[in-house]
Homo-oligomer: A and B are copies of this chain.
Amino acid sequence: MDLMTVIGLLGGIATIYYVLVDGNILHLLVNPVAFVLVFGGTFSATLIAYPWSTLKHIFSASRLMFVGRRYSEDDRQQLIEQMVLLAEKARLKGVEALLRDIEQIKDPFFAYSMQMVVDGLEHDVIRDNMEKRLLYTHQHNHKINGVFRTMATFSPIFGLLGTLIGVVQVLRNLSDPSSMGAAMAIAITTTFYGIFAANFLFLPTAIKLGDLNENETLRQEIMAEAVLCISRGDLPIMVRKKLNVFLISYLRGHEGAPAQR
| A interface residues with partner B (beta carbon < 8 Å) | 2-5, 7-9, 11-12, 14-16, 18-20, 22-25, 28, 33, 36-37, 40-41, 43-55, 65, 70, 72-73, 99-100, 102-109, 111-112, 114-116, 119, 121, 125, 128-129, 132-133, 136-137, 139-140, 143, 150, 154, 157-158, 160-162, 164-169, 171-172, 183-184, 186, 188, 191-192, 195-196, 199-200, 203-205, 207-208, 211-212, 214-215, 238, 241-242, 245-246, 248, 250-252, 254-259, 261
| Contacting pair A168 B19 (CB below 8 A) | no
| Contacting pair B115 A258 (CB below 8 A) | yes
Chain A facing B: main interface SS: helix
Across-interface contacts of A2 in B (CB, < 8 A): 51
Nearest CB of chain B from residue A110's CB, rounded to whole Å: 9
| Contacting pair A204 B48 (CB below 8 A) | yes
Complex: how many Å from CA A12 to CA B53? Answer: 20
| Contacting pair B165 A256 (CB below 8 A) | no
Complex: how many Å from CA A52 to CA B53? Answer: 32
Across-interface contacts of A100 in B (CB, < 8 A): 259
